[in-house]
Structure 1
């Protein structure tokens, strides 16, 4: 007997084609109706709350008086909640964001009781990350349900064992790169295949005849799943009657008002012994390439930049500093404040939000959330630094009167080399704003002659530095036990080179006055438009491109850094170039080259290029948009009117760096177009590598013979790498999540800007804000490797390190319990990447999470003084297995909980 499991739900995008509060008010109506129907209809048994606990928070903000009712419905199992906090996009959110969504979602679900839904639920995620099976199994989930990524062929078609991205059934085994396996269930007929079920017998017969046939085509068993709902779908108030009608019409079919756990329990009993396997990330690789939605990685670049900024602030600055302070001082780890910040950040992570495929109002509200999360992260970091400042034993460093100590922290989890800009107060004058004349104080400080300064490290070695400027400014302190204190201070801004600073470490320096000594002439890094250090020679060609010699291999990489402009008649989801048009390249326009900085430790060159690009697409595009013409069928062309597109490129090469840093500014006054930067690899490869979620993923340059889209856009977070057995190139970025590698691997393209004027999808929704007019700034870089794995891994770690700024603490001379130079963690290998250093979510132990960067077994020993490490999982539940000498399996994600030794 066939069983039809009908699961009522409403896929709840918190914001999309309307702003958040517009959807929010409809959510109130939805849950109000649920409360009503559960009270009045005893046959209405379950409703699935879309896998995200934030729905409960959103409802109770408006209806707090109904909390007890909601709790009772959850206790009865009628409201099906969890396991995630929100339904986030996998590829545009960091590894830790994905982990925290699970961690906070499980924590929130547990707070409501024991009836969490045991399904990894990804109904509308724009592709599924390859490490999903491993992550799910770590949190005790063994089934994943998803709507995208796999091509179902139906049971009448044979699927090849070599096809890793198709399945003849909607049920399959999903294998992660580490060989973890979960049951995968594809919504082959989408998550609305059971919406609006008719009650009328005649209509119900027509409805069910078609629906049953469509679903049986892909089902591996006689257990058929129907989802009663869709996007923001109101509750079907007469569902019980509709199910009764169906059971009367089909005596050989049992129609069941069900939940997912019921369905999966029976399904697993009935599944055939062998199912097709799909492997790794699922991004619709076996489709025509037009509906992968990967170009959401490049719209509204500012959203992606802010996401990277705030993610790094929380993961790599606030949490590490708070952890160090809590373990080395009496600082109380701010669990609640950090969780509050993470929630603000994650509210920007649903696919319609972080993918920026929404109306302008949504993007505006996202910026407020980013800033809130960032402000909390900065507060936590500053509070932790205050405690560390008190306990840093600066007196261990020899010093004289008038010298000023300061400490540089590398809070990132990769070794970092680079130039840091530091502001150091050299004199402070307190004043009362209601009594004192602040202008006189400022004028006196300005008039006072500033001596020449140098910097020494703790061993009294001179450090490469440059004085940028001095200035007088207002500032204030907020003591914990007193009223605020205002002061005028004179500060000196210096630039200093820091070399190979270990992960999670700090070094203390001192600023020393040397009177009025003149600076000595030093060896310069730039000569005749050539930047050079011991690793690279960067020559700026006449057309503005670069020829870079990698001194490790003596290979010259030519035709680097060329900007490409093309028209875009797509939308926020999909890029599409107009037919029969050619790209416009920066190398075809004149340029100006100027030296910005040139000393013995840093060289900076500016290249100005004024491209001419069409002002927009022609008028046909607006007509086609308003008539909702499919983007693949549009005939609009680029306008013949040209406007200036000025680009300023700053190339920065540090004395000790193997990475060329690139900062690009442009003033966009053109609409409907895309700007990319191109790098030539001088390699012929079939695969490349990119930074994905807990994985350095290997991707084919050419996806499938079925692929029709002339573009092959892909996602990354920190880098894309192309290499062969002899050498390689790594292009890194900050918040530039879209790239493409050509079929033979000879070119890497990073998208810097995509200007589009409509949301897309099911109607016409104008998005003038997505044109991103005005001034923009982006950061990226390039580095090269030789044939060794060590060299290649260093380029990856340098890409990670480039995203995390140094943190600087100015101090005074005093004794304390913390060494002025130290490492919080001692790490023996660069074959893994640490993604989290924090304190246990519901405890006081230290948590370290890392993953294997390689496809082979990697040894890594991490030491934390006076602590014992125990193996754990994403939920931070420690086992009794000590893991000091850790062997990471290929692609393994490993969490360690560090407990203080009992004698401490």
Structure 2
């Protein structure tokens, strides 16, 4: 092998769309960079290529202002001088959902079609704050066998500072094998000297010699081959226009070194055959665990929690509600709105770059993000509304005329992927009258004559369902017909709340609110007799759980199958935070303020057959904020680890109102917490002592339930060991376990307190961005009204076999309800599109492919064991095939009425279906 060193310079810019400047200010700089780049590519034949940061949105942003430059972009992309994709944006992998990560990759590939269908086959993760464990499997399914990344296995600090801790690397080299839990692997290449180690190459000989001697020596320390990677660029770095001359100088001053203006494609092609035979294998998630723990940047998971909550709502509405409903409607003849989904997903994903969704930018950035969240959500809501109308038109709702001449039918939709039971609320129009050309007050008066008495709720068999009705009176509404001008009306409305039981997976159950039933059995029969879930002064109980509330508001929950009792759950803890949007730092020597032992005001606020709820009120006094030392330290850029600030003695009230609910048939206790945050510089968490002996916890991550060590690595110095989560975290042993599910609360910690206490972060208030400068962020203090929702799920055995993880996944997905008219239809009143089973298998998505209009369904295996999925589709299937994350046809599958497919350990499985 020729040991002559080859220096591969790859020109690039790492383009954060928004960060320490608002989007449009970065946008203007991007336009200038791209103009200069295209000019350079035209004038300098020696400037071989430029890597556009792995994200196609750069092209979209540029052409928004410079549409006339599309031809040049296409030219240089086809020539291989501009390298685009494979992502739409450079996301934070842990704070965006599994499906959002896939949509990001798919969108990058789809965008590349517009520019000659040339896409970079490189898993590009330059600055993700940790990397997902299933990346190798996802990339392999997309035809990508190499990934490059900047974080996760090596300590990288603020302002691109690289700490020298070679002995702590998971790999001694910058090259390694990165393997997912299913066994898929890619060549992983670490930016060991960061992605700026070849920036601003000097063209003067005297300066160039020292520059290159230092940088080559640094790169050689980590490289396993003579091919050395130098990244010619950095954050928002303008293109180096004299690079051709600088490389000529480099060749002159170091003639024994080969300098190449390279691309990732060329570099990887030459690296692969020169790799040593035994590279280190790094498995699963890359989360900087073998570092001192201060620069993992995991606390971005709790910066601006309100944004994470909004993101969870938006993701769930698109992937778990709008897509499956629109797919269902499409199979009934409705056009699938691919264009609207693309727009909604892109709008949402514009909030998914790491500096955006992580909440670590200036306030103006995050204000604009909230608008984008709303825009995406509104489009999803329109798709849902139109899909529901299309489906319910085909439902046989006239079965209810057998029970009453006055029936108001409605269907409850379950898009979670599993059969589901839970409490549902629906607002029904009992009667409406148009107001066009009429006196509105008279219309209201007429509708107010409608009686709210003698109504009952029944299922399709006429069984009476226990419910609570709230008369909402007369309300204004309007229709926007396709063929006419808007139609305003007034309507008398009732709100019903009841337990919907065993609603089919990816299907619906139809009920009716009927008046003056004509059959006595409909009037008097009930599926379940009326009974209370309240079993004592501060106690609730159903068939699965018994819940008792202590005087200080903590819960004692007994899981009946195992007989195991969890005690002292649901205490709140408040501490100071003198860190920043990236990193939590508690003041030295501070003691936590908790609700342990603090008497709470406890009252029963709901007692119905389908649900019981208690309200728990805690009134705390917490410090108003940090003292003036913190502002001085911030202004002087004192590193957070070295700060000496404390919290002031002056206090403000913190009133925490907690609603604790147990539903009929519910396997978890649902909790909603509300409080008005009047303090700055602090963190609020809720604590759940588990008291089970185990060294690991199970955590919902990207297409996997990751097993993580509770005790950090020996190198870990940070007193805090917070980590990321998606839907839940779980601590279990062979007897029992406790799962804490959440809605948009992405940070947890398992305390090393001898009890394996799960700590869930509800709020983190800080006042600066952090990183390389002084950027005040007063809105990151999150002052004002805050809410948080989570579910406590005790279970026997493990979380997979007990169904606790399914309960946690369903907790994230809203019910969907649609009122319908009384009519015949080809769909029965109760119907499920898809029936499936599989040990350890989790449903992920159902949608329609934008190229073939085939139905695409995806699952993943939660366990690292082989399994099988058995599927029955209640529609006429023409063809079934295995697919991949890009929804390409891989292999046909033989099928009859059912389809069975083997699933490997931790495998992501996608099927495509063509229908008759």
Q: TM-score, normalised by structure 1?
A: 0.96
Classify 1:637/1:828 alpha carbon distance in 2 versus 1 (closer, same or farther; 3 Å). same
1:296 matched to 2:300: yes
Q: Could you tell me which of 834, 840, 844 is aligned with 2:843?
A: 834
Classify 1:637/1:425 alpha carbon distance in 2 versus 1 (closer, same or farther; 3 Å). same
CA-to-aligned-CA distance 1:840-867 (integer Å, 9 cap, x gap): 1211110001100112111211222312
Whether the 8 Å contact between 2:404 and 2:515 is mirrored in structure 1 is no
Whether the 8 Å contact between 2:14 and 2:236 is mirrored in structure 1 is yes
Partner Cα distance (1:152, 1:230) in 2: 18
Partner Cα distance (1:246, 1:237) in 2: 16
Partner Cα distance (1:148, 1:317) in 2: 34
Q: Could you tell me which of 739, 742, 758 is aligned with 2:768?
A: 758
Residues 86-485 of structure 1 mapped to structure 2, 5 A cutoff: 86-151=89-154, 166-328=170-332, 330-397=333-400, 398-432=402-436, 435-485=437-487
Measure how far apart 1:437 and its partner are: 1.1
Residue 601 of structure 1 is matched in structure 2 by 610
Partner Cα distance (2:472, 2:60) in 1: 49
Measure how far apart 1:114 and its partner are: 4.1
Partner Cα distance (2:800, 2:258) in 1: 60
Measure how far apart 1:553 and its partner are: 1.8
Partner Cα distance (2:621, 2:666) in 1: 34
Partner Cα distance (1:538, 1:6) in 2: 63
Whether the 8 Å contact between 1:455 and 1:512 is mirrored in structure 2 is yes
Measure how far apart 1:110 and its partner are: 2.6
Whether the 8 Å contact between 1:152 and 1:167 is mirrored in structure 2 is no
Whether the 8 Å contact between 1:148 and 1:284 is mirrored in structure 2 is yes
Classify 1:640/1:519 alpha carbon distance in 2 versus 1 (closer, same or farther; 3 Å). farther
Measure how far apart 1:590 and its partner are: 3.2
Whether the 8 Å contact between 2:30 and 2:62 is mirrored in structure 1 is yes
Measure how far apart 1:745 and its partner are: 5.8
1:645 matched to 2:654: yes
Residue 780 of structure 2 is matched in structure 1 by 770
2:345 counterpart SS class: helix
CA-to-aligned-CA distance 1:22-47 (integer Å, 9 cap, x gap): 10000000001011111222211111
Residue 54 of structure 1 is matched in structure 2 by 57
Partner Cα distance (1:476, 1:770) in 2: 39
CA-to-aligned-CA distance 1:509-554 (integer Å, 9 cap, x gap): 1112249999999432223011111211111111111111111122
Partner Cα distance (2:420, 2:686) in 1: 25
Partner Cα distance (1:176, 1:790) in 2: 20
Partner Cα distance (1:778, 1:157) in 2: 39
Whether the 8 Å contact between 2:150 and 2:194 is mirrored in structure 1 is yes
1:587 counterpart SS class: coil
Residue 79 of structure 1 is matched in structure 2 by 82
Residues 4-83 of structure 1 mapped to structure 2, 5 A cutoff: 4-83=7-86
Measure how far apart 1:168 and its partner are: 0.5
Partner Cα distance (2:839, 2:225) in 1: 47
1:391 counterpart SS class: coil
Q: Could you tell me which of 553, 563, 567 is aligned with 2:576?
A: 567
Measure how far apart 1:612 and its partner are: 0.8
Measure how far apart 1:742 and its partner are: 2.3
1:173 counterpart SS class: strand
2:370 counterpart SS class: helix
Whether the 8 Å contact between 2:403 and 2:517 is mirrored in structure 1 is no
Classify 1:616/1:832 alpha carbon distance in 2 versus 1 (closer, same or farther; 3 Å). same
Classify 1:790/1:73 alpha carbon distance in 2 versus 1 (closer, same or farther; 3 Å). closer
Partner Cα distance (1:198, 1:830) in 2: 60
Whether the 8 Å contact between 1:152 and 1:168 is mirrored in structure 2 is no
CA-to-aligned-CA distance 1:581-605 (integer Å, 9 cap, x gap): 1000022433211111102221011
Measure how far apart 1:880 and its partner are: 3.0
Partner Cα distance (1:515, 1:860) in 2: 44
Residue 707 of structure 2 is matched in structure 1 by 698
Classify 1:41/1:745 alpha carbon distance in 2 versus 1 (closer, same or farther; 3 Å). farther
Partner Cα distance (2:46, 2:812) in 1: 55
Partner Cα distance (2:881, 2:457) in 1: 42
1:656 counterpart SS class: coil
Measure how far apart 1:396 and its partner are: 4.0
Partner Cα distance (1:745, 1:265) in 2: 51
1:21 counterpart SS class: helix
Measure how far apart 1:326 and its partner are: 0.5
Residue 532 of structure 1 is matched in structure 2 by 541
CA-to-aligned-CA distance 1:240-278 (integer Å, 9 cap, x gap): 110000000111101111111000000011111111111
Measure how far apart 1:450 and its partner are: 1.7
Whether the 8 Å contact between 2:155 and 2:288 is mirrored in structure 1 is no
Q: Could you tell me which of 592, 596, 601 is aligned with 1:592?
A: 601
Measure how far apart 1:749 and its partner are: 0.4
1:628 matched to 2:637: yes
1:874 matched to 2:885: yes
Measure how far apart 1:697 and its partner are: 0.4
Partner Cα distance (1:608, 1:94) in 2: 33
Whether the 8 Å contact between 1:152 and 1:218 is mirrored in structure 2 is no
1:730 counterpart SS class: strand
Residue 721 of structure 2 is matched in structure 1 by 712
1:405 counterpart SS class: strand
Structure 2: runs of 5 or more not aligned: 157-161
CA-to-aligned-CA distance 1:274-327 (integer Å, 9 cap, x gap): 111111000111000000000000010110001000000000111111000000
CA-to-aligned-CA distance 1:683-736 (integer Å, 9 cap, x gap): 011001010000000000012000000111111111111111111110110000
Structure 1: runs of 5 or more not aligned: none
Classify 1:152/1:279 alpha carbon distance in 2 versus 1 (closer, same or farther; 3 Å). farther
Partner Cα distance (1:369, 1:299) in 2: 18
Whether the 8 Å contact between 2:464 and 2:525 is mirrored in structure 1 is no
CA-to-aligned-CA distance 1:601-626 (integer Å, 9 cap, x gap): 21011011111100001110011011
Classify 1:116/1:258 alpha carbon distance in 2 versus 1 (closer, same or farther; 3 Å). same
Query: Number of residue pairs matched?
Result: 892
1:414 counterpart SS class: coil
Measure how far apart 1:881 and its partner are: 2.7
Which has the higher mean CA deviation after the structures are superposed, 270-279 or 741-750? 741-750
Measure how far apart 1:474 and its partner are: 0.4
Residue 787 of structure 1 is matched in structure 2 by 797
Partner Cα distance (2:304, 2:800) in 1: 36
Partner Cα distance (2:608, 2:51) in 1: 63
Partner Cα distance (2:45, 2:749) in 1: 55
CA-to-aligned-CA distance 1:626-664 (integer Å, 9 cap, x gap): 111000000000110011000000011111111100000
Measure how far apart 1:502 and its partner are: 2.9
Measure how far apart 1:466 and its partner are: 1.1
Q: Could you tell me which of 502, 505, 508 is aligned with 2:507?
A: 505
1:523 matched to 2:531: yes
What's the RMSD between the two structures over aligned residues?
1.9
Whether the 8 Å contact between 1:415 and 1:798 is mirrored in structure 2 is no
Measure how far apart 1:128 and its partner are: 0.5
Partner Cα distance (2:94, 2:903) in 1: 24
Partner Cα distance (1:267, 1:197) in 2: 23
